[in-house]
Structure 1
C-alpha cells in the first residue's frame, strides 16, 4: 500500500475496511506528519495526540465498520467546542478556556466514526477571510509559505493541502470554506442553508454561517458531507435538515458517478461591484476560462449572465458583519484590550447599531436572497471565479484600519458572501495552476438543495483536469 497520505480519503476508508491499515496506525501516521510539518504551516493550534490514540482504539474495538467515517482522521476547527480540549476561537481572550461539552457538529463527526487529531487554526472568532491572529502563528498555503491559507477555515485547508489530514470540516459565513480551499488548491463545499443539521445556519444571524467539507477531491468532500448530514442517534428527523425533493441517495453517489448534462451560467459580476473597485486578476480569469472550456468540451450548455445591481447589499452586509461581533463576551476594558484591532473596530460598530438599523439590514438581505435566486433560476448552476486575486501574502491585510481591511477582503473575495446571504450551495474547484505553481479555482453556485448537481459537475471536471494529482512541496 502507498503511504496513506498519498491516498484519497475514500481510498483510505477502503483500506481501513479491508484491514490494510488500522485506525490507530492511520492516526499515528498523520500525527507524525503534523509533528514534522505543522511548525512551518500553522495549520494546527492544538494537537490531541493521546486522546486521538484512545479514540482510535475505541473506534476499532467498539464502533461498527459501517460508520461513514470509520477510523478516518479529521480535526475540529477551533470555533467548535470539544469537551476537554482548549477552545481559543483564535483569540487571546479565550487563552485558558476549556469547555465541558462538545458542539453538535463535533458529536456528529464522532458518531460517524471519525478520529479527531486536534484543533485547526482560525482568525479571531472567524471574523476575517485570512488566518493571521495574534493568538497563533499564521496559517500558510503549502504551495508558497509566504502566502496565507485564507480564512476563516485556513488551518483546516492548510492541513488538508499539506496531507496532514485526509479532509477537514470547516464553517462558512461569508466564504470561510471556499476562500481557503481556493488558496490551498482544494475542493471546498458550502452547503445549502439547513442542509447540515448540526451546522445549519438557521440559528445564526442572517442565516449566514453553515458547516461543510474541505477535501482534495470531489468524492472526499461528498464523503465528509454525507457524514455531517447523517442523522444522529435520537435525532432522526432534525427539523433543520433540508431535503431536496427526490434527493435521498448519499451525495457520495453523485460525486462518484459524475453523471448529467446541465445548463450553466457564467458570471463575473458580484454584489460588491458598485461600491468597491473589483478587478479580476489574469490568473483568476485564466482559471475561469479553463473551466468554461472544460465544461463546453463535456457538452454542457453555457451562457453568460450578470447580476442586476442592488445598492442595498453592501450597507446591509456590512451591518450584519459588524452586528455579528456585538456578542463577543468582552465586558471590561481589559477584555477589549485583548482583542485585535479589527475585532475591536467591529465590536464597537456592532454595539453601536440600533434595532431599526439591524432590522432594516436583515430585511434588505432577505430581499436580496429572493432576487438573487430568481435571477439565477434559469441555470442548473452558475460558474464564477473563486477569488478575484491570487492568494494573498501573509501580512498583506491592514491590521489597524477596519475600513481599509474590509475593502481588501472584498477585493480578494467578491464572489463568496452573496452565496451565504442567499442560502445557496456552492463549491470551489481548483482547476488551474499558475506558472509559479499557485492554485487558482472557480466557484459553482447551485440551486437550493442542489449539492448533488454541484458534485456531479465537479466530478466531471476533476476527471478531465485531475487536480488531485498535484502535490505541494513539503513545508520546510
Structure 2
C-alpha cells in the first residue's frame, strides 16, 4: 500500500487542497521518517519537530489558499538563518549560534505556505562539493551509504532521495544543488542569476550562488522554484531579476505540459580542461549517450559541440573560491583551530590575495561569462554529463592538502561551476543507474532566463524514463 511519501510533492499538494489529509498529518508522517532514517543517513543537523507541528496546525486552521506550497514540508539548508533555530553553517566555529533574524529565502518559503522541519547538513560554509563536515556525521548517499551525497546541499539531497522530505531548497555557488542531485538520483535546478529574489547572487562575489530546488520529479522542482521566486505570484515589481528575462507565469505549467521541440548541443568539454586532466568515467558517458538517444527519438535536433580553450578560467575561479573564505570570522588561534584544514587553507590563501589579483580574476570571469553565452547561443539547450565520475566514497577527498582537494573536486565536477560564472540556468536529470545501482545523471544548460525550456525538456525525458519510480533500499 502506498504511503504519503510515495506521492510526489505535487500529488501531496493537490491532496492537501482536497482535504484528503491535513498539513499536521503530513508533517507527522515526515517527522517519523526523519526519526527512523536520519541517524544512519545524516541528512538533518537539527530537527524542529515542535515548531513544525505548531506551524502545520496554524496552516491547518487557516485553510488552503493561493500559497504555492501550502502545507508541504521542507527544510532549510544550514547555510540559511532561521530566527530562533541553531544555525551552524556546517562549522564547529558556530556551535550554539542562534540567529535573531531569518534570511530572505527562508521568509519566502514560509510566505509560500511551507512547513520547515529543521536544518539540512552542509559542509563547512558550503565551500566544498561534498558533505562531510567535522561538525557532524557525513551525509550518506541513500543508494549506497558508503558513498557521499555530494555538496554543498548534500543533506537536502539525502533527505529527498530517502523520502524524509518531498522536496528541499538548496543553494548553488559552483554546482551545490546539481552535484548532490546527480549523486543521489534527483532533479536539481540552478536558476538564472537574478531569478530568485531571496539570494539572487547579484550582491555576492562574482555573482555565483543562487538558491535552487532539489526534487524527485521535474514538476516538483518547478513547484518549489515557483515558491522561491514569488510566494504571492509573479509581482510586476520583481526588480531583483536584473539578469533573467521575466517569466510569463509559474514554471510549474512548463514542467507539467512538457511541450516543444528544440535544438540541443552535446558536449563533454569543460572550462577546466586546460588546467586539469579531466577523465570522464564510462558510466557518465553511458548516461549521456542514453539521454542523447532519448532526445533524438523524441525528435529534438542533436549536434555535437565543444568549448573553445580558455586558460584564464581556472586561475580566476580558484582566486574567487579562495577570496570567498577570506571573511570567515576566525580571528584568534582558538577560533582557527575550530576550522577544518581545507577551510583554514582557503581562508589564509584568500586573505593573502591582493586587490589587483582579485580585480583581475573578476574581470576574467566576466569576460568568460560573455564568451560562454556566445558559444552556446545557437542552441536551445546544451547537454553534458552531470558528473565526471560515479558518486565518490566517503573519505575519498584529501582533507589535509588544499591543492589536491581542489583538483579532486574539479575532476569530479568539471561541468558545473562555469554556469555559476555565466549566470546560466542548468538542470540535472537522473537518467540511469550503474551496474552497482548508483544513480547517474545528465545536465542541461539553458539560455539566460531559459528555465521553462529546461523544465519542458526534463519533463519529456522523465515521461520516457520514469526515474520517479526508482527508490533506494531505505525507501
Pairwise TM-score range, normalised by the shorter structure = over 0.9
Instruction: Report deviation, 1:235.
Output: 7.7
Q: SS of the counterpart of 1:116?
A: strand
What is residue 275 of structure 2 aligned with on the other side? 275
TM-score relative to the length of structure 1: 0.98
What is residue 375 of structure 1 aligned with on the other side? 375
2:463 counterpart of 1:463 = yes
What is residue 33 of structure 1 aligned with on the other side? 33
What is residue 162 of structure 1 aligned with on the other side? 162
1:310 to 1:243, Cα distance in 2 relative to 1, 3 A: closer
Q: In structure 2, what is the Cα distance between the partners aligned to 1:436 and 1:134? A: 29
Q: Which 5+ residue runs of structure 2 have no aligned equivalent? A: none
1:199–1:210: 8 Å Cα contact kept in structure 2?
yes
Q: In structure 1, what is the Cα distance between the partners aligned to 2:368 and 2:63? A: 46
C-alpha distance after superposition, 1:358-385 (max 9, x if no partner): 0000000000000000000000000000
Q: SS of the counterpart of 2:198?
A: helix
Q: In structure 2, what is the Cα distance between the partners aligned to 1:86 and 1:383? A: 39
What is residue 425 of structure 1 aligned with on the other side? 425
C-alpha distance after superposition, 1:195-247 (max 9, x if no partner): 00111111110000000100000000000000101156998624212586573
What is residue 388 of structure 1 aligned with on the other side? 388
Q: In structure 2, what is the Cα distance between the partners aligned to 1:282 and 1:274? A: 21
What is residue 408 of structure 1 aligned with on the other side? 408
C-alpha distance after superposition, 1:398-447 (max 9, x if no partner): 01000000000000000000000000000000001111110000000000
Instruction: Report deviation, 1:64.
Output: 4.3
Q: Which 5+ residue runs of structure 1 have no aligned equivalent? A: none
What is residue 474 of structure 1 aligned with on the other side? 474
Q: In structure 2, what is the Cα distance between the partners aligned to 1:171 and 1:92? A: 21
Out of 262-271 and 222-231, give the one that drifted further.
222-231
What is residue 16 of structure 2 aligned with on the other side? 16
What is residue 452 of structure 1 aligned with on the other side? 452
What is residue 295 of structure 2 aligned with on the other side? 295
TM-score relative to the length of structure 2: 0.98
1:151–1:177: 8 Å Cα contact kept in structure 2?
yes
1:299 to 1:233, Cα distance in 2 relative to 1, 3 A: closer
Instruction: Report deviation, 1:84.
Output: 0.4
- Matched residues, number: 475
Q: In structure 2, what is the Cα distance between the partners aligned to 1:178 and 1:375? A: 22
Q: In structure 1, what is the Cα distance between the partners aligned to 2:157 and 2:339? A: 24
Q: CA RMSD in A?
A: 1.4
Q: In structure 1, what is the Cα distance between the partners aligned to 2:74 and 2:277? A: 38
What is residue 222 of structure 1 aligned with on the other side? 222
C-alpha distance after superposition, 1:151-201 (max 9, x if no partner): 000000000000000000000000000000000000000000000011111
1:213–1:224: 8 Å Cα contact kept in structure 2?
yes
Q: SS of the counterpart of 2:223?
A: helix
Instruction: Report deviation, 1:65.
Output: 2.3
Q: SS of the counterpart of 2:339?
A: coil
2:260 counterpart of 1:264 = no
Q: In structure 2, what is the Cα distance between the partners aligned to 1:323 and 1:246? A: 32
Q: How does 1:24-423 map to 2 (within 5 A)?
A: 24-62=24-62, 64-230=64-230, 237-241=237-241, 247-423=247-423
Q: In structure 2, what is the Cα distance between the partners aligned to 1:3 and 1:17? A: 18
